[in-house]
Structure 1
Amino acid sequence: MKIEKTEILIIGAGPAGSVAAALLRQQGRQVLILEREQFPRFSIGESLLPQSMEYIEAAGLLQDVVEAGFQYKNGAAFVRGERSTEFDFRDKFSPGWGTTYQVQRADFDHVLAKGAERMGAEVRYRHEVLAAMPGEVPQVTVRSPEGEEYIIQADFMLDASGFGRLLPRLLKLESPSNFPVRGAIFTHVRDHIPADAGFDRNKILITTHPEHVDVWYWTIPFSNGCCSLGVVAEPAFLERYRGGEMERLQAIVGEDPNLTRLLKNAEWGVLPVRQITGYSANVKSLWGPGYALLGNAGEFLDPVFSSGVTIAFKSAQLASACLQRKYAGETVDWERDFAIPLRDGVQTFRRFVEAWYQGGFQKIIFHPDPQPDIRAMICSILAGYAWDKRNPYVAETERRLRVLEQLCAG
């Protein structure tokens, strides 16, 4: 069997893999990306957070993204029944980007992958990793589109395989998530939302079900007149509805008066309606001998605050910094320098996600008389700045959020 060698092997050409590749190419590293699918391809997770722009810019991919024509995004709107509130991400506590984009992931991921190629990374589409062996010289067995198998040996492997979670599956690293199992039913529609409907296309709309605090909808407008539309709930709720996926999603959307009004002229069938269940995931370790896990390959929380791509980019940035030090001859402690700082921010997001489903965070955001400084701190986390320890709600997430929930519930 043919054996090839590379410095850095990246499994997956999604956001984590492409940004890691671009950052590593800036260091002069030889980078090979293996991608099982052919781009462009559909993926969920279409609303970015402003923090992600910092990593796109650092990777040298900002112009690629800006010129792609995606929908501008400056915040998030929340609605439950007659109550509504908006967060403008430019009015946040943390310094840095306050705007970003809402993207069709098929196009966005392809833009990033082509940007990584422009910077000198090699991307092989439709090459599937069949087996992996970690160690001092990690290697994988790969099958080409023509069916030929070959081996690649690398100095280091980065698994950016997303929900495919390749190395966690092959190396038995998967660990149960402590989140309840939830599912999502979603699609794209041509929305035809009237200009006078009070809908801000520059913001993602998060709608809580009028009767169930732990059921919510996303409405993410795109620049082409379509929007991504989905509902998230525990499987028992979704299974109450009969028919195919489209009929079930239409029935659940029809239970919210505001969404029914906004989408009364919507054209369905732009994309097939899809359903995923049990997407929250965890692993025993984010790294091992000769490899590290990036983005969703390591851990995925929940889509409610659109944190997935930001976490993916953060993992790529931390891993590339560790590899820069490794090639400079320094000793790298992957737990201290990669896993712990990555999970610090993930834990902040995790606590906010838990508070959302328990209803406490919804009491906070819909409070009729919020304090501007606290609102700016909350806004920073919603904008993705979950690693900014200067923010008290990052430095002391658990205590601060618990106290705030109690105050807003009084």
Structure 2
Amino acid sequence: MNNALPQDDVQVDVAIIGAGPAGAIASALLTRAGRSVLVLERQHFPRFSIGESLLPQSMAYLEEAGMLQAVVEAGFQYKNGAAFVSGDKTSTFDFRDKHSEGWGTTYQVERAVFDEVLIRRAAEQGAQVRFGHTVQAIETGDAPKLDVSDEAGNRYRVHARFVLDASGFGRVLPRLLDLERPTGMPTRAALFSHVLDALPAGSMDRNKICVAIHPERRDVWYWMIPLANGRTSVGCVADASFLDVPEAAREATLRELMRGEPTVAKRFGDAPFLMPVRQIGGYAANVERLHGPGYALLGNAGEFLDPVFSSGVTIALRSAHMAAHALLRQFDGERVDWMADYDVPLRKGIDTFRAFVERWYTGELQDIIFYEQQTPSIRRMICAVLAGYAWDETNPYVADPERRLNTLHEVCTMD
């Protein structure tokens, strides 16, 4: 996908920083509309990334970007819901039985493969993609400019009509422009790996992510994400201090944690790790604004909450979709108010997820999820948010999530 290494300045309609899902979707939507796009990616693909359990709403964005067939044919693990486990209690949500209209199924993916499928499809549709190229500086404004270097040390300048930052946890523009702001989210960390999945057929519903709660600490939880080809992604998320261990102790720590939760222990307590145990921490991030003169921030480059409800890729794709369509209107001569047309509506869904995440860690949402007398209509509303439909304001738990969840928790905990 790389062109010959450039020595001269480059002129494009849109420069996109990052070739992950947000960058791939945005570049495809823009090139399909006839706009010139250059994607600049510091790393080389395939490369590992977290965020392996997609949500159904993502499928609509993949479809519109001309990527759905490639994703379906890649052979990923089918997904139709989520299961939650706490001791001997289980609560299962089927994403096809939800309040909101739209896709009810999706996939659980190895991100190294998934991300490469998307960016290759974007390139096939006309996006220019350069791997191993790093953005060093930006001049913002009506005609933004990027200073870029390749791995040989060659430097060049990209002139664009607009810049989209889809750099994910790299957060290129927030760093270069000092946009970082406190998140208000506690500092958490995760230990994770892939394990060999040798479970007997039928012993686990492979079509659902499973989230298990630590037997003694409600703020510590595990993910189990069945993948294709005999692998399962297993991780533990907790307060950063709980997982503050040296690199040499990561494998033993994760193994001990896996053996300490009954469901995880039964399935994978002694399953061989298929890659080194990894750790990420301090991943929650935020900025004051998701846009500025001549640029907008997509997905994790703008804000990341927490992995518990697998919202990261959905937010990334939603932001790419919204920004690309706003840009196309702007290029067609329409005046776009980036605060009203992009920032505020995107944050509406993020804030819905935030309300759910915050109440997960206080235990309130866990009380709701495991409540034995759930009302079917309310359950479908909760399920819709878990399926990624956090922007559907026909759902009361999207229109007013904090008040609705607080009231529902009171009902679920009445003696």
TM-score (norm 1): 0.98
* Structure 1 gap segments, 5+ residues each: none
Q: Distance in 1 between matches of 2:394 and 2:151?
A: 49
Partner of 1:131: 137
Partner of 1:357: 361
Partner of 2:4: none
Which of residues 95, 101, 113 in structure 2 aligns to 1:95? 101
Partner of 2:185: 179
> Does the 8 Å contact 1:89/1:98 carry over to 2?
yes
| CA positional deviation for 1:2 | 3.1
Q: Distance in 1 between matches of 2:299 and 2:312?
A: 7
- 1:288 counterpart = 2:288: no
| CA positional deviation for 1:83 | 0.5
Q: Distance in 1 between matches of 2:37 and 2:155?
A: 20
Which of residues 206, 229, 232 in structure 2 aligns to 1:201? 206
Partner of 1:62: 68
Which amino acid counterpart does residue 15 of structure 2 have in structure 1? L
Partner of 1:169: 175
Q: Distance in 1 between matches of 2:26 and 2:376?
A: 37
- 1:328 counterpart = 2:332: yes
| CA positional deviation for 1:209 | 0.4
Which amino acid counterpart does residue 213 of structure 2 have in structure 1? T
Partner of 2:411: 407
Q: Distance in 2 between matches of 1:340 and 1:53?
A: 23
| CA positional deviation for 1:27 | 1.1
What whole-Å deviation, never above 9, does each CA across 1:162-216 have from its counterpart, x for those lacking one?
000000000000001100100001111112122243x110000000101100000
SS at match of 2:156: strand
Partner of 1:308: 312
> Identity across aligned pairs (percent)?
57
- 1:19 counterpart = 2:25: yes
Task: Check 1:214–1:264 CA distance in 2 against 1; reply closer, same or farther (3 A cut).
Answer: closer
> Does the 8 Å contact 1:9/1:154 carry over to 2?
yes
Task: Check 1:150–1:363 CA distance in 2 against 1; reply closer, same or farther (3 A cut).
Answer: same
Which amino acid counterpart does residue 120 of structure 1 have in structure 2? G
Q: Distance in 2 between matches of 1:250 and 1:56?
A: 36
TM-score (norm 2): 0.97
Q: Distance in 2 between matches of 1:127 and 1:349?
A: 33
SS at match of 2:107: strand
SS at match of 1:212: coil
Partner of 2:280: 276
> Does the 8 Å contact 1:241/1:248 carry over to 2?
no
SS at match of 1:6: strand
- 1:224 counterpart = 2:225: no
What whole-Å deviation, never above 9, does each CA across 1:295-332 have from its counterpart, x for those lacking one?
00000000000000000001001101111111110111
Which of residues 2, 6, 12 in structure 1 aligns to 2:8? 2
Q: Distance in 2 between matches of 1:193 and 1:386?
A: 34
| CA positional deviation for 1:244 | 1.5
Q: Distance in 1 between matches of 2:241 and 2:151?
A: 40
Q: Distance in 2 between matches of 1:143 and 1:83?
A: 54
| CA positional deviation for 1:241 | 9.2
- 1:343 counterpart = 2:368: no
| CA positional deviation for 1:383 | 0.1
Task: Check 1:150–1:387 CA distance in 2 against 1; reply closer, same or farther (3 A cut).
Answer: same
> Does the 8 Å contact 2:195/2:268 carry over to 1?
no
Q: Distance in 2 between matches of 1:239 and 1:11?
A: 32
- 1:385 counterpart = 2:389: yes
Q: Distance in 2 between matches of 1:122 and 1:255?
A: 48
Q: Distance in 2 between matches of 1:240 and 1:118?
A: 44
- 1:396 counterpart = 2:400: yes
1:237-256 correspondence runs (5 A): 237-239=242-244, 244-256=249-261
Partner of 1:212: 217
SS at match of 1:94: coil
Task: Check 1:112–1:240 CA distance in 2 against 1; reply closer, same or farther (3 A cut).
Answer: closer
Which of residues 296, 301, 306 in structure 2 aligns to 1:297? 301
SS at match of 2:163: strand
Partner of 1:191: 197
* RMSD, matched Cα: 1.2
Which of residues 141, 145, 152 in structure 1 aligns to 2:158? 152
SS at match of 2:93: strand
User: Aligned pair count?
Assistant: 408
Q: Distance in 2 between matches of 1:222 and 1:170?
A: 36
Q: Distance in 2 between matches of 1:2 and 1:123?
A: 16
Give structure 1 regions of 4+ aligned residues with deviation exceeding 4 angstroms: 240-243
Q: Distance in 2 between matches of 1:17 and 1:243?
A: 35
Q: Distance in 2 between matches of 1:242 and 1:171?
A: 32
| CA positional deviation for 1:146 | 2.0
Q: Distance in 1 between matches of 2:246 and 2:178?
A: 35
Which of residues 71, 80, 87 in structure 2 aligns to 1:81? 87
| CA positional deviation for 1:239 | 3.2
Partner of 1:267: 272
Q: Distance in 1 between matches of 2:384 and 2:62?
A: 18
Task: Check 1:146–1:239 CA distance in 2 against 1; reply closer, same or farther (3 A cut).
Answer: closer
Partner of 1:371: 375
| CA positional deviation for 1:243 | 5.4
Q: Distance in 2 between matches of 1:309 and 1:2?
A: 34
Q: Distance in 1 between matches of 2:370 and 2:209?
A: 16
Q: Distance in 1 between matches of 2:390 and 2:176?
A: 31
